[in-house]
Structure 1
Amino acid sequence: MKVKQAIRKIIILGGGTAGWMAAAALANNPVFAAIELCLVESDNIGTIGVGEGSTPHLKRFMDNLGISEKDWMELCHASYKTGIDFINWNGDGQQYFHPFYFQMDVKPAEVFFINANARRRGHGNAVKPDAFFSSGVLAKRNLSPRPNKALPCTNEYGYHFDATELANYLKDYACKRGVRQIIADVVEVSTTQHQQIETLILANGERLSADFFIDASGFSAKLIHKALGVPFQSFADELLNDSAVTVPVPALMDSTQTQQAKYHTRATALSAGWLWQIPLTHRLGNGYVYSSRHLSANAAAKELLHSINLPESTQVRFLKMRVGVSDKAWHNNVLAIGLAQSFIEPLEATSIMMTQFTLERFMSLFERYQLNKQAETLSRQTLNQAVMQLVLGIKDYIQAHYVTSQRSEAYWVAARKVAISQRLTQLLKAWYQGEDFDLLLYQYDQQLAYFRPSWYALLAGMDYRDPKLKRPFEPISAEITAQAISYCQTLVEQYFQPKHS
């Protein structure tokens, strides 16, 4: 079988977090050592910059680059993230915490699962995840997830950060390792008769050629959609939020709480969406993610400012979001990443995780991809299937936040009535009717983006159940429940509580 011609040059179109993540990852990978890497970005296009939170996966990405937290966090105004506090999602003033789960939580988490199953089958009071996970206790006490002494296992946490500064940090990292940066506007893209990208034509007339291209051009998707015509699947009728209005405030100006959250994200439900509050070291990021079909931009700005006690004259920033996924992330000689590939609204901070997942899968397939035509096709199919599966899994979980809400505003009523997948329909039905939810989680294991602790945190936290249901179930004793809660508190005091607090 004929061996393919080796790839000698890769061009990344677009900077921002996604583009520079790609540049840094490839520059650090010995598989790409002999390949010329070039990134083209415009200084006339600003970054979206709203994704200031991460999942725990980002730590692995930075570790793989050999970057320590002390090297990047201060420069990016970063703080640690233990999870997300969901506030008033049922319109009753209640809240619950979606924690990051790690090995030390196994025993108390099991007690939470049993109590949650008892509740949904008609036994016992509402039970929330907050007290049964170490990160929930950390959030309640406003403590960092970085331990004061060595843990017997690896703990899980994410970050909050300034997305622009993170992109700048990764830019410096990549350029020091040989990535060439070109600041220019791409005005035209030429393709071959076989629908391969051939050259990027710059505003000054210069033509840039490469063997392979990575499309990190954001929502414009200049290569994957505009040049190659790969279809885009919109989720606009399944996830209603398509807009955001944002306003940062200095860290000491947070007037919404007596004690500002330092180590977790807040997600507060509002009339036509939800408000994020993300604590960085120098500012509190605030943003209202909403549906423009249910609220005007001016009304959204007014509601945002009122919610955080700022005057209506405060300057805000408006953003539009394209929610959906490319039919293919990898088509011919183009790999789409970041917003050019997919975007599920920022509720669970999954955008950077998707970029990281795509890059890691691409790098693992790259050597095989170069072997021959058959391996090339198989590599693309493998990545595209994996990306689509993860995107749809994320969509299921995000939709579950809305379709389980009991809020009565027109937006929330509409959000409950959207089309959902057969998989999500079965999961919600099993939970609501007191059936074997864990069996379904097991059956769908390979298709789910989120696993047992997250699903239980959401559905028990929302107290999603049939209030008339009474099915046989033996609840766990109050004594064991108290012991589980005490266990988490003791862990936090032993490993995370400051010595002189």
Structure 2
Amino acid sequence: MRENHIRKIVILGGGTAGWMSAAALSKINTPPQFEISLVESDDIGTIGVGEATIPTIHWFNNLVGLDEREFLRETKATFKLGIEFQGWNGAGTRFFHPFGIYGDPADGPMFYHRWIRAWLKDKGLDHQALSLAASLAYADRFAPEARSAGLGYAYHFDAGLYAAYLRRIAEGRGVKRTEGKIARVEQDGETGFVTALFTHRGDRLEGDLFIDCSGLRALLIEETLHTGFEDWSHWLVADRALAVPSTRIADPVPFTRSIAHGFGWQWRIPLQHRTGNGMVYGSRFASDDEARAALLANIDGEVLAEPRLIRFTTGKRRQAWNKNVVAIGLSSGFLEPLESTSIHLIQSGIAKLLALFPARDCNPLTARQFNTVFDADMRAVRDFLILHYRNTTGRNEEMWRYCQTMKVPDELLYKEEMFRASGRIVLNTEELFREASWFAVMMGQGIHPADYNPLIAAFSESADNAHFARLSAGIAALVQRAPGHMQVVDRMVSGR
């Protein structure tokens, strides 16, 4: 073994981020190259509101080696085909952000321009009829085999059960767990590297690389290394969330609901055994009592616990990797769960760590590259979230008026202007949300294109209209044949 090889990795904090990190590292540690320790305290709660995911979760579950049927059983999961936004453009309005693509996989990027040309002549055309995910979701059906036809799907699951499931897997692969709160952090006097963690019980956990999964407290990356924080709350004004579970009173639908209120929005996430509910809001626009009352007045089923208050500041660490500490999860920054990106950003950090895995000296160039690509991830998601707030119509409450008139990042403004002027969706190659997502939200928010790519003159308008009709009919027929959402869940959970 090389002298400069990582020998010991210490993960601070359990929860979703900690046990995802432990499961991934233990999976690739074959044959064993390093020891993995995780320290957490049962006395410290986890945020645990990230019960909705996006399709990138398949990458992580495959990496760790999870069987989908067992995963559904262990986490009480249901399927998710997208997000419905209710009331974002005023009472009674809704639009849908579906997973997967619009049209046929063979259509390519010109599909949107061909549709826009037809829509400019007939504003009654419905783009959602050309989304398999949206059509299945509203029919309460599911067809996992349709992934080859462009269907995208993710999951709703119990985040606490997911962490416990991953813990069993990680410990089975040799991860050593230590119970305890951190009483002291030891650092090298010359380099400032963290060398060991001491628990209140007197345990000493020595390491070469430390993964900070301590949540919003950010005990290593911020309290110890004073890395600094970039505040984005002037764009994303929500700074509080209330979370509460309720009983399941109907079959879970295969999508998440995001319901706009005067001072924020409410999530509704259906699981096999219960429903996850929450309210995200800005404290300068509503008191905690007002938000709590609005949340409890809009819950289906019996409330199973007292609503839990979570305070946060939207933004990111100036460096998610500093010295020999890598922040994963909420310790690296916080973006509200409007598009269910919390768990994705955990696995994004893990993927980048694996790709840039360091030697013991943690070369600053490696950390710099990690910070560059992770920073780009965070900013791209940030701008997509701002898009939802900035372009609401039909809402005139104080919070929404602020969002409608605020100055937004130049990159977002450019994307909006390009789509309005030419129908073009301008993305960087590595952005998480692709053309279908931006198209769905911009159209849903009333950002409508005035033109399209002139190269589509090569396509016959009548042929396009016939193509759209065939696509719509084909999707409708597939939906009609597909089983009910919970039929699929029950069949997979039971092993039939």
TM-score w.r.t. the length of structure 1 is 0.88
Matched, 1:359 2:350: yes
Matched, 1:263 2:254: yes
**Counterpart in 2 of 1:462?**
445
Deviation at 1:118, TM superposition (A): 6.0
**Counterpart in 1 of 2:129?**
131
Query: 1:283-318 deviations in whole A, cap 9, x for unaligned?
Result: 111111111110111001111122236799984222
Once the two structures are aligned, what percentage of the paired residues are identical?
Answer: 31
- State how far apart, in whole Å, the 1-side matches of 2:365 and 2:465 are: 54
- State how far apart, in whole Å, the 2-side matches of 1:312 and 1:70 are: 29
Q: 2:435 aligns with which of 452, 459, 470?
A: 452
Matched, 1:183 2:179: yes
- State how far apart, in whole Å, the 2-side matches of 1:22 and 1:357 are: 11
Tell me, yes or no, if the aligned pair for 1:100 and 1:157 is still in contact at 8 Å. yes
- State how far apart, in whole Å, the 2-side matches of 1:216 and 1:163 are: 15
Matched, 1:97 2:88: no
Number of residue pairs aligned between Structure 1 and Structure 2? 477
Deviation at 1:225, TM superposition (A): 0.6
**1:203-352 alignment to 2 at 5 Å?**
203-252=200-249, 261-308=252-299, 315-352=306-343
Tell me, yes or no, if the aligned pair for 1:112 and 1:127 is still in contact at 8 Å. no
**Counterpart in 1 of 2:72?**
73
**Counterpart in 1 of 2:359?**
370
Q: Judging changes above 3 Å, is the alpha-carbon distance between structure 1 residues 8 and 171 closer, same or farther for their aligned structure 2 residues?
A: same
Unmatched runs of 5 consecutive residues or more in structure 2: 489-496
Deviation at 1:321, TM superposition (A): 2.2
**Counterpart in 1 of 2:400?**
412
**445-454 or 36-45, which deviates more:** 445-454
Which amino acid counterpart does residue 458 of structure 1 have in structure 2? Answer: V
**Counterpart in 2 of 1:430?**
418
Tell me, yes or no, if the aligned pair for 1:4 and 1:370 is still in contact at 8 Å. no
Tell me, yes or no, if the aligned pair for 1:129 and 1:461 is still in contact at 8 Å. no
Q: Secondary structure at the match of 1:74?
A: helix
- State how far apart, in whole Å, the 1-side matches of 2:252 and 2:125 are: 23
Deviation at 1:198, TM superposition (A): 1.6
Q: Judging changes above 3 Å, is the alpha-carbon distance between structure 1 residues 472 and 103 closer, same or farther for their aligned structure 2 residues?
A: closer
Which amino acid counterpart does residue 370 of structure 1 have in structure 2? Answer: A
Tell me, yes or no, if the aligned pair for 1:81 and 1:160 is still in contact at 8 Å. yes
Tell me, yes or no, if the aligned pair for 1:330 and 1:336 is still in contact at 8 Å. yes
**Counterpart in 1 of 2:493?**
none
- State how far apart, in whole Å, the 1-side matches of 2:234 and 2:386 are: 11
- State how far apart, in whole Å, the 2-side matches of 1:141 and 1:334 are: 47
Query: 1:148-182 deviations in whole A, cap 9, x for unaligned?
Result: xx764674210000000000000000001000000
Q: Judging changes above 3 Å, is the alpha-carbon distance between structure 1 residues 145 and 297 closer, same or farther for their aligned structure 2 residues?
A: farther
Which amino acid counterpart does residue 411 of structure 1 have in structure 2? Answer: M
Tell me, yes or no, if the aligned pair for 1:104 and 1:153 is still in contact at 8 Å. no
Deviation at 1:450, TM superposition (A): 1.5
Tell me, yes or no, if the aligned pair for 2:22 and 2:38 is still in contact at 8 Å. yes
Matched, 1:36 2:41: no
**Counterpart in 1 of 2:373?**
386
- State how far apart, in whole Å, the 2-side matches of 1:472 and 1:190 are: 59
- State how far apart, in whole Å, the 2-side matches of 1:176 and 1:311 are: 37
Tell me, yes or no, if the aligned pair for 1:233 and 1:327 is still in contact at 8 Å. yes
- State how far apart, in whole Å, the 2-side matches of 1:220 and 1:335 are: 14
Tell me, yes or no, if the aligned pair for 2:424 and 2:452 is still in contact at 8 Å. no
**Counterpart in 2 of 1:396?**
383
- State how far apart, in whole Å, the 1-side matches of 2:293 and 2:422 are: 44
Tell me, yes or no, if the aligned pair for 2:104 and 2:471 is still in contact at 8 Å. no
Deviation at 1:463, TM superposition (A): 1.9
- State how far apart, in whole Å, the 2-side matches of 1:249 and 1:436 are: 42
Tell me, yes or no, if the aligned pair for 1:105 and 1:134 is still in contact at 8 Å. no
Deviation at 1:275, TM superposition (A): 1.1
Query: 1:464-498 deviations in whole A, cap 9, x for unaligned?
Result: 249xx799999877655433321222233456579
- State how far apart, in whole Å, the 2-side matches of 1:312 and 1:73 are: 24
Which amino acid counterpart does residue 462 of structure 1 have in structure 2? Answer: Q
- State how far apart, in whole Å, the 2-side matches of 1:275 and 1:456 are: 23
TM-score w.r.t. the length of structure 2 is 0.88
- State how far apart, in whole Å, the 1-side matches of 2:35 and 2:29 are: 12
Deviation at 1:204, TM superposition (A): 2.0
Tell me, yes or no, if the aligned pair for 2:53 and 2:154 is still in contact at 8 Å. yes
Deviation at 1:115, TM superposition (A): 3.7
Unmatched runs of 5 consecutive residues or more in structure 1: 255-259
**Counterpart in 2 of 1:257?**
none
Tell me, yes or no, if the aligned pair for 1:10 and 1:210 is still in contact at 8 Å. yes
Q: Judging changes above 3 Å, is the alpha-carbon distance between structure 1 residues 127 and 167 closer, same or farther for their aligned structure 2 residues?
A: farther
